Amino acid sequence: MEKVEQYGLLSRCARVEPGMNDADYISAFQQLLLPVAYEFRPQLVLVAAGFDSVVGDPKGGYNLRSTAEGVCACLKMLLGDPCPRLESPFSPCQSALDSISKTVAAHRKHWKCLQVLEQGQETGSCDLNPGPAVESDAVLDRSMREVMRGLPPARTGLVYDERMKEHHNMWDRVLILDWDVHHGNGTQHIFEDDPSVLYVSLHRYDNGLFFPSSSDAGSDRAGRGRGLGYNVNIPWNASKMGNPEYIAAFQRVVMPIAYQFDPELVLVSAGFDAARGDPLGGCHVTPECYGHMTHMLQGLAGGRVLIVLEGGYNLSSISESMSVCTSVLLGDSPPDLGQLTPPHPSAVQSLHSVLRTHRSHWSALRLAVPESVSSSLPTPSQKGQRTKAKKSPRQEVTPQKRSPGEDTHPLTPEGATTPDNSPSVSPAAVATVADDSVDQITAGLQSVALGNSPENQTNQSPASVAVGGARRKVKPASPEGGGKGQRKRSGGGESSKGTPSTPGKTEVVELKESAGKMESTEGTMFAVEPLPWCPHLETVNPLPAAGLDVFGPCRDCGSGAENWVCLVCYQVHCGRYVNQHMMEHRQSSAHMLVLSFSDLSVWCYGCEAYVHHQVLHDAKNAAHRIKFGENMPGLH
């Protein structure tokens, strides 16, 4: 203890008080253990299963009944039975929240998943109040009745009976989880003042621009009246959201609130239009991720989980995702999720906004990294960032400016991880390295640093492959190009930005819409993969008899700088960075597909993506013949 006090570690040690219950342990699992485990991706999980924390055990695992029934419950879950319901009320105590917060602070620099939590936020208070004393035998009796509850002979089925319309709710608390990419505004309005229904929606929002384009989908809409706090919106303000974002939302928001709510029935509005490959959703959720979300939900309501299929726009994505969910409902283990990258910064901002809104309603969300602890941690920087030491080996290693081809992400702590996800060496251990060893390490780091010089540019990412004759979106800059940055403009909604052209350096052109409307991130390369199909292709009309005039002016302003042709009516208008007349034409006519005369790419306003399909070949080929005097290669 003297050494602990001498090194100032006592203030960072959390006291574990007696009386910790299910809510405290589940909170530790949801907020700390599971996020780290998902990031670590173990190939084998070993549990040191001492049952001396089971109710009725004074210490050391000497209560044989507590130990036996704890083992029995674990064994049934391993055999595929649903988890039993937990006792209500379910609210972690303040001591447990403080312990979890301090542990997160101590490990934050090593694990990217722990950096999602905000620092130094007001957490409110939650007193440690175990409630009236209950005989341990009575608690064990109730628990075992729930554990040994029989299972129905059929655990899945297709509901199509008209009599289901006459069904009435027989449970007091129902969780409705809506993971359809569109906000369920109708469901929200039905239950927004009802505290017996917890409605949670994960949806694409785009700051109110994504359908149904209502402010009701914002994170600040938490219900009203007695239902305040029982409406939880998790809005995504960019496309391309996928497994990392959805898993983070489940671990940080959905499951902590759901466990505290303690539903007796879980209904999932399972629209699969957020699945990877869906042309309208624009998200990247895999079937494996849907399986993991289903698996997490099975820990609620004693396994009473109903998944209601609401559809999607890609039959392959729907069938694969629903198959994995059904497999998990039948007791199969969820498939391997793969390596999770850190959530996108826009998603982290959305989660922070949700936590700020609902922290006052749900004590399970009142976690925060203490400022006094987190202030000593390294500033989050990019994954894979190389650092170059100064001449003095005792000075701190400072981050250098990134080269354009370098893998980046703002949520990864500096030097925090290695390729095998092992935590980095502690600062105390680094301080003991001798000066000559530091010099050797520094020299080694400099030899692998990614700089801007030609000798360090040998392993650049390959340029993107041109699709259908379109210009490459990432191209080497010519030495004669000068040092002036150039903005590539397109009328179909894409915004791009170049970097200064210098010898040996790569010019990066970012397409905001095609890359998910993500914030500009210096040095990030995006490979544009057009949609192979979209529902608006049926509106494309045959070429007019007069053909195309790729050099024709804008119909409205006469500009010839950057024009697009509508593939429905074949009117020519300028792009958004000229006078936006093609955008105005789209709004007035509802014509979605347009062809760029600059790079011969086709943009769909409705799907917010590039499209490459056989229906478009005639228009592309005609424009290519006029511009270059030959047929477009690769179309047939």
Contact 604, 618 (CB under 8 A): no
Asked whether residue 386 is assigned to any structural domain, the reply reads no
What one-character DSSP code corresponds to residue 285? B
Residues of the domain holding 353: 11-131+139-149+169-365
Query: Where do we find the tokens 């006459």?
Result: 166
DSSP symbols for 332-355? PPPPP--PPPPPPHHHHHHHHHHH
Whether the CB-CB separation of 485 and 498 falls below 8 Å is answered with: yes
What is the predicted pLDDT for the residue at 449?
Answer: 39
* In a domain? residue 504: no
Q: What is the pLDDT of residue 492?
A: 41
User: What CATH number does residue 552 fall under?
Assistant: 3.30.40.10
Cα–Cα dist 508/9, whole Å: 47
What is the average per-residue pLDDT within 582-593? Answer: 93
Q: Greater confidence, 143 or 516?
A: 143
β 602-604/593-596 pair status: antiparallel
Quickly state the pLDDT bin for 474 (edges 50, 70, 90): very low
Residue 513 has φ and ψ, to the nearest 5°, of: -65, -45
Residue entry with tokens 């208070």? 125
Give dist(CA 209, CA 80) in Å, integer. 43
pLDDT at 217: 92
Q: Is a pLDDT exceeding 90 seen at residue 233?
A: yes
Of residues 513 and 440, more confidently modeled: 440
Note the pLDDT of residue 325: 94
Judge whether 383 lies within some domain: no
Question: Using 50, 70 and 90 to split pLDDT, how confident is the model at 423?
Answer: very low
Mean per-residue pLDDT of the chain = 73
Q: Bridge partners of 387?
A: 399
Look at residue 634 and tell me if it is in a domain: no
User: Is 435 a residue whose pLDDT tops 70?
Assistant: no
pLDDT of 196 reads: 92
Structure tokens at 426: 């502690």
pLDDT of residue 331: 84
- Among 331, 348, 365, identify where a domain stops: 365
* Mean pLDDT (whole number) for 153-163: 62
DSSP track, 102-158: HHHHHHTTT-GGGGGS-BS-----------S---HHHHHHHHHHHHTPPPPS-----
The proportion of the chain whose per-residue pLDDT surpasses 90, expressed as a percent, equals 33
267-293 residue pLDDT tens: 999 999 999 988 888 999 999 999 999
CA–CA gap between residue 325 and residue 332 (Å, rounded): 10
3-class DSSP state for residue 621? helix
Q: What is the mean pLDDT of residues 178-202?
A: 94
Would you say residue 415 has pLDDT above 60?
no
Q: Is pLDDT above 70 for 609?
A: yes
Return d(Cα 635, Cα 499) in angstroms, integer.
32
- What is the count of structural domains for the chain? 2
Burial class, 399, CB count within 10 angstroms (exposed 0-12 / middle 13-18 / buried 19+): middle
Q: How confident is the model at residue 438 (pLDDT cuts 50, 70, 90)?
A: very low
- Percentage of the chain with pLDDT > 70? 61
Mean pLDDT, residues 582-587 taken together: 92
Cβ atoms within 10 Å of 33's Cβ, excluding its own: 13
Alpha-carbon distance of 319 to 163, in angstroms, equals: 26
Residue ending a domain, choose from 365, 389, 416? 365
Nearest C-alpha neighbor of 385 from the set 571, 487, 523, 559: 523
- 209 within some domain: yes
Residue, of 143 and 335, whose pLDDT is higher: 335
> According to the model, what pLDDT value does residue 470 have?
38
Tokens 């809510």 map to which residue? Answer: 23
The confidence score (pLDDT) of residue 60 equals: 54
User: In this model, does residue 255 exceed pLDDT 90?
Assistant: yes
Cα–Cα nearest to 84, from 144, 28, 129, 124 = 144
Q: Model confidence over 112-154: pLDDT tens digits? A: 888 776 655 544 444 444 444 455 666 666 666 666 666 666 6
pLDDT of residue 330: 87
Q: What contacts 242, CB < 8 A, 6 or more positions away?
A: 276, 283, 284, 285, 286, 289
What pLDDT is recorded for position 321? 94
H or E element, residue 508: strand 506-508
Per-residue HEC secondary structure of 427-479 comes to: HHHHHCCCHHHHHHHHHHHHHHCCCCCHHHCCCCCCCCCCCCCCCCCEEECCH
Instruction: Determine the pLDDT at residue 152.
Output: 64
474-497 average pLDDT score: 38
**Can you tell me whether residue 625 is helix, strand or coil?**
helix
Examine the fold and report which residue of 333, 365, 397 is the final residue of a domain before the chain moves on: 365
Summarize the confidence of residues 303-317 as an average pLDDT.
88
- Of 260, 264, 263, 266, the C-alpha closest to 294 is 266
3-state secondary structure of 49: coil
Lowest mean pLDDT among 58-62, 220-224, 554-558: 58-62
Separation CA 101–CA 538 (nearest Å): 55
| pLDDT tens digits, one per residue of 351-393 | 999 999 999 999 888 876 555 443 444 433 333 333 343 343 3
Tell me if 419 is assigned to some domain. no
Can you read off the two tokens belonging to residue 442?
Answer: 């520094």
pLDDT at 120: 52
Q: What is the pLDDT of residue 135?
A: 59
Rounded to an integer, the average pLDDT of 173-188 is 93
Is 183's pLDDT higher than 80?
yes
CATH number of the domain residue 285 falls in: 3.40.800.20
**Under 8 Å CB-to-CB from 129, ≥6 apart: which residues?**
93
Over the stretch 391-410, which tens digit does the pLDDT of each residue have?
433 344 333 333 333 333 43
